[in-house]
Amino acid sequence: MNKYWHGVAMTLIAAICWGIMSPIAKVLSGAGISMMSVMAFRALFVVVVMGPYLFYTKGREVFRPDRHMFAFYFLSGLLSVVFSGGGFLMSLKYLSVAEALIIHYTFPLVTILGSLWITRERPTALQVISGFLIVAGVYLGMVGGEKTFSGLSVPGLMWALLAIAGISGQSLVARRVCKGQKTDQMTLLFFAHLLGGIVLAFGKSALVGWEDIGNFTPGLFALMAFQAFCGSLLAYGLFYTALKYVPAATVSLLCTLEIVVAVGLTSLLLGQSPSVQEVMGCGIIIIAIICATLRTHNNVS
């Protein structure tokens, strides 16, 4: 029971960390820095910090995983660093923000469905209801009456679906492996960012290049370092650890607190009160998060 609620707390803290990233991403993007460069830096930051830590605490052997674990680490990096982050950012290139958000926040429903087959954990009726409430909250608060899905971009839709596959897949795969055996979350954190970062770097080199590096300043670099610490090192460390104790469906639902934090911080930084629609949408999402945690501890093994 205590481990379950500890996992819930870890997930909520991770979601808060990810929510902090949105306002910072707007600052970096406005300065002409590609979000793919930011993600590559975040991966590098985790590798540089965690590499020496693992060497001194676990020795050289930790860097020689067997074939099975290496495949798991590679898949985790592909899903979290490349698909989830890269897919969502690329979807914004073709879709409106409203369209991208509505599609993206269907990921808890996808995770709920996938948990039936991948982790063999049956979601509760309240979790299913919560998934639909979150989509409704995003539509009401972040979209409102804006016209969407008229002439939807096919490439944008494909990138958005790739992001959903990434964020749902990483929850399900990590939950299955972390629940079934003793997996060190710090080692997973290191290898996922190492391997995912390598794929992302090659992809960025081929697609858009690295010209934006010329826009870096010491202040922006410090901001990126803070983002990497909160959004990757801390958030993913808590996220992977939480999946040892909490079902993937619950974790996905709790992670949607990210959008509530992002809305609140953006309003605070701009010195503007959130709109009535935003408050109502965030309220629905918070209700959904509360519902997601109810009675689920009875199903945790």
Residue-wise pLDDT for 148-160, tens only, equals: 555 678 888 999 9
Place 178 in a pLDDT band, splitting at 50, 70 and 90: confident
* Between residues 72 and 29, the one the model is more confident about: 72
Average pLDDT value for residue range 270-289: 87
Q: What pLDDT is attached to residue 298?
A: 44
For helices 107-115 and 154-180, what crossing angle results, to 10°? Answer: 40
Average pLDDT for the chain:
87
Range scoring the smallest mean pLDDT among 47-56, 88-97, 202-211, 292-301: 292-301
Residue 301 has pLDDT above 60, yes or no: no
Contacts 24+ apart (CB under 8 A), 198-202: 199/77, 199/78, 199/81, 199/82, 200/36, 200/39, 200/40, 200/43, 200/81, 200/82, 200/85, 200/86, 201/40
Are 151 and 224 contacting, i.e. CB atoms less than 8 angstroms apart?
no
Q: Does the pLDDT value for residue 181 go beyond 90? A: no
pLDDT at 22 over 80: no
Residue 101 pLDDT = 79
Q: What is the pLDDT of residue 297?
A: 43
Pairwise CA distance, residues 256 & 18, whole Å: 10
Confidence of residue 93 (pLDDT cuts 50, 70, 90): confident
* pLDDT for res 149: 55
Confidence at residue 143, expressed as pLDDT on a 0 to 100 scale? 65
Does residue 63 have a pLDDT over 90?
A: yes
Portion of the chain with pLDDT greater than 70, in percent: 92
The mean per-residue pLDDT over the stretch 62-79 comes to 93
Least confident of 22-26, 48-52, 237-241: 22-26
Q: Which residue has the higher pLDDT, 264 or 41?
A: 41
Task: Judge whether 163 and 87 are in contact, CB under 8 Å.
Answer: yes
